[in-house]
Amino acid sequence: MKRNGVIVRVPGKVNLQLSVGPLSADGYHEVTTVFQAISVYDDVTVKFAEPGTGIVLTLSGSTTAGVPTDSTNLAYQAAQLMIDRHDLDSDLSIHIKKEIPVAGGMAGGSADAAGTIVAIDALFELGLSRDGMEKIASELGSDVPFSITGGIAIGRGRGDEITPVLARGNYHWVLAMSSQGLSTQSVYQECDRLRTGLEIARPQVSDAMLQALRAGNAVGVGDALSNDLQAAACSLRPALRLVLDVGNDYGALGGIVSGSGPTVAFLVEDEERALDLTVALSASGVVAGVIRANGPTHGARVIETL
């Protein structure tokens, strides 16, 4: 029986480490990062649409404010790229149920693009390999290939050259949300400004982080959390320093601005500590919302065929 549509579930991410090189002549920064996919998901539904309608994108869920539904949306661009690359029927309905924060440093837009690629592969039964889908994903943005891979992985280059990491353990996260997002571009620009005149080394992942992940040592991972963009994010949004202080005061194993922010991710020992920190952050008056999550989790995958 022909499929009429598919639903793909795709996770958000935190960056356990983000090392940013100097601004290069092409206007980009070389990065090396450790991604972890966590249990905050968007669901992407792709269906065949009426002839002549083209790509129609709709949204629902708790984090849709400011998300475009036209060709500037990465999911729309992912659909168009797949249509062009594989000469597919161009009349598609895409619906995204969003729970990943927008402009929060958790790759929400990238996740939706990855989910769209996986959904179209399944809907048209293209039979693409994961590597094949990741190559297409890399044309759309730095975080999109990892959203297909999931788990824990190192991203190099612009973050789109993905290598899975040998890791053990399950990690408990408390995510402190901000009421407004931060532009990735503005955070990188502020990072460059703060580092003016400094000699910047090539980006790399610390041995301490890789050893902690191999051992499943949450304390070690907490100690090794680092983000070269954190100072820039805190410069643009000083209240983030207060959020980090609350987490440290309530016994988090470590806290970090995720990616370009402004989401702050706290690693905690167990579910009980996660609940305690959730209450403390909610009562602090310095966050817009709090989410508990676990990681690592799977990358984009089909959860239902329609």
- The single residue listed with the structure tokens 């022909």 is 2
Omega before residue 145 within 30° of 0, cis: no
Question: 18: closest CA among 211, 140, 137, 191?
Answer: 191
Q: CB within 8 A of 1, min separation 6: which ones? A: none
Q: Is 13 a catalytic residue?
A: yes
Edge-first strand listing for the sheet containing 171-177: 254-257, 264-268, 171-177, 289-295
Distance in Å from the first CA to the final CA of the chain? 10
Catalytic residue selected from 13, 47, 97, 98:
13
Query: Given the DSSP bridges, would you call strands 161-164 and 92-98 parallel, antiparallel or unpaired?
Result: unpaired
Backbone angles phi and psi of 293, in degrees to 5: -150, 160
Question: 176: closest CA among 96, 107, 245?
Answer: 245
Q: In the chain, helix, strand, coil percent, each to 5?
A: 35, 30, 35
Catalytic residue selected from 43, 121, 143, 228:
143
The residues carrying an active-site annotation are 13, 143
